Structure 1
Amino acid sequence: MRRMSSLLFLLVLLGAPHGMAGFTTPTSLSTEAHDCTQREGTSLTVVMEAFMMFFDFSFFMDRALNSISARFPCVSRQYASVILDIAETNETITNDKNVFLQSITKSFDEDYAMFYEYLDTLWDCDQSLLYGVKRALEISPAESIIVVYTFGSMTDYNDTELMSDVYTLMEEKKSQVYFMWYSWGCSVLEDVFINISSLSYGESINMDNEDYYKLFHSLELLLSKPLNSSERILTVNTKVTDDKYADAFNVTNPLTHLLISGDETFALNFSDPNGNTYKYAKNPYFSDYYYSWSSYDSSILSSHLVKSPAVGSWILNARGSRTLSVHVLGFTGLDKSGNCSNVDCHPDATCSEFGGYGECTCKEGFAGDGKSCSDIEECAGAYTNKCYYTGFSSCVNTIGSYTCGCDPGFEYKEEFACVDIDECADRSLNECDPVAICTNYYGSYTCTCPNGYYGDGYHCEINECQQGTPCGSNEECIKSIGSYSCIDPCSAHTVLNDPWRSTSNIYNADVDWYDWYHCDYRLSGWFRFKGEYDQQIPEQCVPRASCGSSIPIWMNGSHPTVSDGIVKRTMCHNWYDGCCTHPFSISVKMCPGGFHVYHLTNTLGCYMAYCTESNHTCSGVDCAPDEECKIVDNVPGCYCKKSLYTTNGIQPGNQAGDLIPQVTCGLGNIEVRFSKCLMEKLEYSPSAFHMRDYSCRAITERSDQSYVTFITRPANGSCGGSIANNGNEITYTNTVYLASQSDGVIIRDEYPIDFHCSYPLNMEINLLTAISTFVVSASINVAGKANFTITMGLFEDSRYIAPYTASQVFLNSSAMLYVGVVVTGPSGSSPFVLIMKNCYATPTPDSSSGPRYNILTNQCPNKNDQTISVLENGVSLKGRFSLQVFKFLGGFDQIYLHCQVGLCDTSSKVCATSCPSTRSSSLGNNEVTNMTLGPVKQKVAESFTVAALSSGGGTAVPTAKIFISAIFFLLLLC
């Protein structure tokens, strides 16, 4: 029901702007009979899942076809539809536009039972969409336009025979295929869509942005062209990362027009052999700031006509980023001789209009047979216009065209409709204070006073509170308009009286979690904790799932005295990766009444809260066995028991044996522990201990006794340590410096204590200690149980011991690629194992575009590639596979490897699989994230190729430089 409700909501959103109550089929615009000879035009075929018939696609298609029919009333064309129904494929072939529109339309009011039947089937995502594309190509005449309107399911994409048939038909028919898909539907195979559309000079359009009119404007031009008149000249579909792209193409024959389909997220510049330049600007509507919140990466189709293009070499220059898509079609046959001259035509018609065949043809924006032409009212409901798609405009009809009226914050540009005004680009366009920082947003802007100033951005004045220290150490400076004041937080604060904050409030399974936990996400300002007695934040690590919160916050440091005034202290979260993670600072003051006030800040998120313990009782104070709770200056704390250690007058550092720490050598972390009480008895100051890197300080831990603990990673440079490799093992070495006690300002007689950890050479330790661009790591919290780190690397040999350390890697085609992955995390047994689910290769760093060569599918290797070897997968916290270097068709000398990798819980799932796989993987496709390695390059260009079709990846398109890398996806299991 949740899925159904979500989809119904989306349907309402899609239908609401277009008056689609009841999902009724719109009535087509009627046209008058014309006294002219009918001729055949370019055909149109639509492929869609049956459920998509309930959407408003026919509503927009009708309006696009109305514009074409009005301008070319004497042209007939074939209309066809291929509907992927529940148990069959329904096809309609007709010359009647109304019959065609009816074949792609369902009414919810009339077919509501079928709606729910289709809905249940839709979520299975098992549509044979590739078969539908094949049928559309088969039943369509040559050079037809094929539009695929889909939720994205294409379960037959890896049918190599079917894919081969599609490629063969595209080459024979020269038809253009357009994919219009929704990413919130099934798992979209965008790379397959892009590959097919690019090879056919079509387009792949993400319809989440509802850019119907972009496609239909292009359709108006494509359906206007004479039959069998196009010549394919250039196709580009590539990821642009350095903000610029250049390419060349030749116009070899005299042509009447070039039709350029470009991506509006790029500025396009074409230069012809005669030095003429054709510029197409980037659409301001799709500025980076507008899509900074999303993963928007779809090309926005825009078409341009160039009349009488010069023969010879042309240059394309594009400026922008993301995926660039450009297609250039040439047209012949548009200059067929006719029996008219311009003087014979209506004033709003010409003999040379695009698609006119030398007949009198009404100009764009007019309707009729050329002898009689009338203005098309594009703002009427029967036609498409681009105004309402921006969401910020109204349509105003003009003779032969129309304009869009824009809301404040937008301006009208003829080629783009309403676009954002960058008010920050010109001082006269905004009302910010001259010193303020102006930030432009889509349709608006904000003004912010810079550091050192105070105000709302429209008026800024000097902030005295940020200019030196105008207030004393016992006061806080508060700025207001025109002045400032110094307040004492001891008298200006908020009292918090929350019993749930107590350190003794520990979660147990008998309590409902959602009723028990609390959150300080919106807490900010000066606060005093007060219950029956005044309370304070604990100075030691608090166990997780206590203090009424999943992640308690404590203070790593001592509370100030009254004479200290306002001081800064470090706050710590007890998270899964340590007792003091994500540290931050707050201000603290002890007031004359013996209580403390804290200037608290918002937490990182929910499930986090500040802890408290009483100032006047040891209740809830968790001391170690070698400590006892005492109340000093009305503040309880843990103090070492005097009876456990005696120094007998021995000076610090003289008992070397007592100073040997406990060293735990782990793959992820090295922990060095000293007895806190022993160090104090030997007159050392634990708060001044440090490692070679002075910033690596110790924290206080309490378990079987109180410890001063250092934590470092076994990596070169971590906490100032160093790594040595003798060929058999790797040794990490560092030094802890103990300082004698002092007055808290200076230290003397630091005593160095060296320690080391040695590890045998193997894949794990080499990955964890390597410094290389071909080794990457990422942290992951799994199911709220533990924090793990996944590290991935590319190795030189089959023993998986030596990772590549050079800045670049060059391999010949006979070499092998060895990829190893290691998971490190909490010590002790773990129910999780590493799974490498789907691994594949592409000729670009963009994993979602271009041809694709499968390596692993549902954990199983490609049976057609005998060089693939999987040593470990789904059985431990390690994964290894290898394969021989290859290259794609098209002369590319670099490759990217991509993998979906996750952690599988063996306590609740069957993680390992037998091959060939007879079941779906235990990991879902909707639970992935990315890591990147590479690039690796081939030494010498060779003729070795990859049969991309055998893996369902399509053929390579030689349009871009190719890189090789490995992207591994981490899975968070619930």
Structure 2
Amino acid sequence: MGDVACTGGETELSQCPHRGFVSNKCSHNDDAGVVCEALSPVRLVNSADRCSGRVELFHNGEWGTVCDDEWDMDNADVLCRQLGCGRARATPHNAAFGEGTGPIWLDDVNCFGSEPSITDCRHNGFGNHNCGHHEDASVVCELRDQEVEVNQFICGQDKIQVGLNMLTVSFSGLDPLSGHLVDRDCIKSRVEDNIVWYEVEPREGICGNSMRTNSTHFTYTNSLFLYAHNTNSFSVPASLPFSCVYSLDLDTGLNADIRPLVPTGGIISSGGPPRGVMSLYRDQSYTSTYPSGSVSLPVGQPLYVGVTVEEKDVTFAAVLDHCYATYSSDPNDQKRQYLIQNKCSTDLQQVSVVESGTSLRARFTALLFVPHGEYRTFYLHCHLHLCSPGPCVPVCSRRAPRSVSEDVRIQPLTIGPITCE
């Protein structure tokens, strides 16, 4: 078939207008593909997100509910896993998400917790129950990540556009107007009919776009980052990676695809001068550092940076003065992007000073983004000093930082190189 032109309401592909069987002007390099969403026999309804709500099963062509008799966390773990959500957090009883309608399909469900599907657990048989809909079971699962529903996605010749339903995004706890691309300065958006559109030119290096090619196609990849509502504090954003695939044969038009690929982080090694050591840690506990060598971190995820000063006098406290990124290993490089300046975070959404001025160690967390949207190797530098007697915690609210004595200057510390790909 060639030139198939369905309206969407047909029940079979052959019902759509087309040139006739075997009548076409194509070759197999024009073969069509499709990606469909799988229909699940279980769903959660009456909630703001897909991982919580009233439990419903599809059986014999009809959706029905589950009775909450014997409904427990083992049952919920199976259901959450079946839905692709995180761990079960709660099992509300008594129709906590509203009473359902139709049949009550299952009662006295008893799972071990390892079953692949809720219907594989022990129960009384489909339709056998002694319940009413006021006993409909519910479950609350963790979201694996903050999830964003894409309303429309367009790979055009002049711009790539990502459209998000503002209401749906708001229900997920995110601010639909807070988005930016890998380059944080790229925030171009518009609102039309309750859809917020973010856009970027399909060019390498623009707004942090990366490009890869093969013998037939070239692909631009970026990510959209959204933040929680009404927050001026440090928070990890939800990320929405997207890619556009274009044919190298421009005469045939555009081929587009969404590929959930996060632009990977870079190669990071750690080190420091004799009086102090700055290291990159694996998580917010700041207990385990990455070994020497390389490590990959995804764009938009936190960098946990810690400084330890080799000083026996514990009355001193290490104070972070300035921390910044440069494209060279020279801490005196004037082309820099500040994370901490004058002892305080430059952007409370992006950088959190966890500890400064209380002990011989200092710590901060920063979101990893590509500086200036350029996928180039860069380094992190920190200037700090020892204050005595401690504590000497800077006050970083709307008031100016408190003046602290600067008894001992510490040689600038550097970690890197860091390469984002």
Q: Normalised by the shorter chain, which TM-score bucket?
A: 0.3 to 0.5
TM (norm. structure 1) is 0.15
Answer 1 or 2: higher relative contact order, Cα 8 Å, separation at least 6: 2
Greater Rg by CA? 1
Structure with higher helix content: 1
TM (norm. structure 2) is 0.33
